[in-house]
Amino acid sequence: MIYRETGQFKANYQDDQALFPIAQDRYVILVILLITFGLVPALLNEYWLNAILLPFLIYSLAALGLNILTGYCGQLSLGTGAFMAVGAFSVYKLMVAFPGIGFIPMVVLSGVITAAVGTIFGLPSLRIKGFYLAVATLAAQFFLIWLFNKVGWFFNYSATGMINAPPMTIFGAIVTGPKADPIAKYYLVAAFVAVFALAAKNIARGRIGRNWMAIRDMDIAAELIGVRPLIAKLSAFAVSSFYVGMAGALYFAVWLGSAEPTEAFDINQSFLVLFMIIIGGLGSVLGSFLGAAFLVIMPIMLKNLMVDGFGTTSALAEHIQIIVVGVLIIGFLIVEPHGLARLWRIAKEKMRLWPFPY
């Protein structure tokens, strides 16, 4: 397929404003959607669905959420893990207390609850900036996890402190708990991610997204042209936490099935999602997906390669993986702070002009 925009003229602003102004992009998205919903479930086995695609999709949603806050609005958060926990515990309490309202509304509602919590912890952002704010979000991280550990109400006083997802069904298929159908789980999560990725893209290219970026790039100028920092920052915290909360709900209920707060949602989760958006690309919807894919698949591949290929111990493989992630973070920040998404765009630019260099 030749990637060209020659001959595709925009006669009005409506066409120029379209989500994917270049025809080939529209075909690519269509093909991706067809593959996602048509081919993948038919071709891939349970291992692929459970071990790679589910975490990839769920982390994509979380990365999208963090990217809204950090990539678009410029507010660094180290509390993603805790906000995922808020989503997880919300959906758990909803599943136990009101099993009748249906699983999809529950996940959305968990997002709403997380948005409320996130907004509260976003309040300090009105007075403090940069890494000061990062420390403030650390407060959220440690406090919330402690709360979910200590207050029995959250885990229904279970002896272990664990929460287990009871089975929920959508159109007759079980999507949570140990007996869940992998294909149904996959469809559910993929649908969630597709819908909310589109919504994120729409918000990002509209007025609200522009206001976020304005605050990120030059907050004082933004304020003086009438962007209210209060509203812009808190809305970023709310929308971001909404996404992260839904991701946390799916992470616990659909993927893990059971969770314990100190392990499933600790600070390393926060770092992992942050690394996804750095590697994928800050301020890019596509980047959230690329980063999530990279950090979900890379450790598995590395481990397979090292343990099966070179016969190293899995502990060593894990240490090397940590180093690789660290090196990649530094490398991307130095070479391409806009991550994989920018590399992809450069490649596209090159293709547009090919075979001419300019």
Partner 1 sequence: MLFFIEVTLSGMMAGVMYSLVALGFVLIFKASGIFNFAQGVMALFAALTLVGLMEKFNFPIWLAIIGTIVVMIALAWLIERIMLRHLVNQEPIILFMATLGLAYVLEGMGDILWGSDVKVLDLGIPQGASDWMLDSFDIYIEKLEIFAAVTAAIMVAFLAVFFQKTRIGRALRAVADDHQAALSVGISLHTIWVIVWSVAGIVALVAGIMWGSKSGVQFSLSLIALKALPVLILGGFTSVPGAIIGGLIIGVGEKIAEVYLGPFVGGAIENWFAYMLALAFLLFRPQGLFGEKIIERV
Partner 2 sequence: MNQQSSPETILAVENISLSFGVMKVLDSISFDIRRGEIRSIIGPNGAGKSSMLNVINGFYHPQEGSITFKGETRKQMAPHVAANHGIARTFQNIALFKGMSTLDNIMTGRNLKMKTNLFWQALHIGPARVEELENREAAEKIIDFLGIQAIRKKPVGKLPYGLQKRVELGRALAAEPELLLLDEPMAGMNSEEKEDMCRFVLDVNSEFGTTIALIEHDMGVVMDLSDRVLVLDYGKQLADGVPDEVRNNQDVIDAYLGVPHEH
Q: Does 127 bind partner 1 (CB under 8 A)?
A: yes
Nearer to partner 1, 105 or 326 (CB): 326
Which 280-309 residues touch partner 1, going by CB under 8 A?
Answer: none
Alpha helix ranges (H) inside the chain: 13-16, 23-34, 40-43, 46-47, 54-66, 80-97, 103-122, 130-150, 182-205, 207-217, 219-224, 229-250, 261-264, 267-280, 285-303, 314-335, 339-353
Q: Does 120 bind partner 1 (CB under 8 A)?
A: no
In order, the DSSP letters of 227-273 are --HHHHHHHHHHHHHHHHHHHHHHIIIIIISEE-HHHHTSHHHHHHH
Nearer to partner 2, 165 or 227 (CB): 227
Strands 173-174 and 169-170: antiparallel
CA of residue 241 relative to chain centroid, distance: 10
> Least distance to partner 1 from the beta carbon of 264, Å?
16
> Least distance to partner 1 from the beta carbon of 154, Å?
12
Q: Does 151 bind partner 1 (CB under 8 A)?
A: yes
Strands 258-259 and 173-174: unpaired
**Among partner 2, partner 1, none, partner that 228 touches (CB below 5 to 8 angstroms by kind):** partner 2
Per CB under 8 A, the list member of 18, 23, 51, 135 interacting with partner 1 is 135
- Cα separation, 272 vs 260, in Å, equals 18
> Least distance to partner 2 from the beta carbon of 220, Å?
7
8-state DSSP, 330? H
Contact call for residues 147 and 121 (beta carbons, < 8 A): no
Strand, coil or helix: 338: coil
- Cα separation, 91 vs 94, in Å, equals 5
Binding segment (CB under 8 A) for partner 1, from list 21-29, 90-98, 286-294, 323-331:
323-331
Q: Does 330 bind partner 1 (CB under 8 A)?
A: yes
- Cα separation, 107 vs 245, in Å, equals 8
Nearer to partner 1, 47 or 143 (CB): 143
Q: Does 230 bind partner 1 (CB under 8 A)?
A: no
**Among partner 1, partner 2, none, partner that 214 touches (CB below 5 to 8 angstroms by kind):** partner 2
Nearer to partner 2, 101 or 198 (CB): 198
Contact call for residues 80 and 70 (beta carbons, < 8 A): no
The residue ranges that bind partner 2 (CB under 8 A) are 13-14, 17, 19, 199-200, 202-203, 205-211, 213-214, 216-218, 220-228, 235, 239, 283
How many residues touch partner 1 under the rule CB under 8 A: the total is 44
**Among partner 2, partner 1, none, partner that 173 touches (CB below 5 to 8 angstroms by kind):** none
> Least distance to partner 1 from the beta carbon of 25, Å?
29
Contact call for residues 245 and 83 (beta carbons, < 8 A): yes
> Least distance to partner 1 from the beta carbon of 74, Å?
8
Residues constituting the chain: 358
| Site residues for partner 1 per CB under 8 A | 74, 76, 124, 127-128, 130-132, 134-136, 138-139, 142-143, 145-146, 149-151, 220-221, 224, 267, 271, 274-275, 278, 315-316, 319-323, 325-330, 333-334, 337
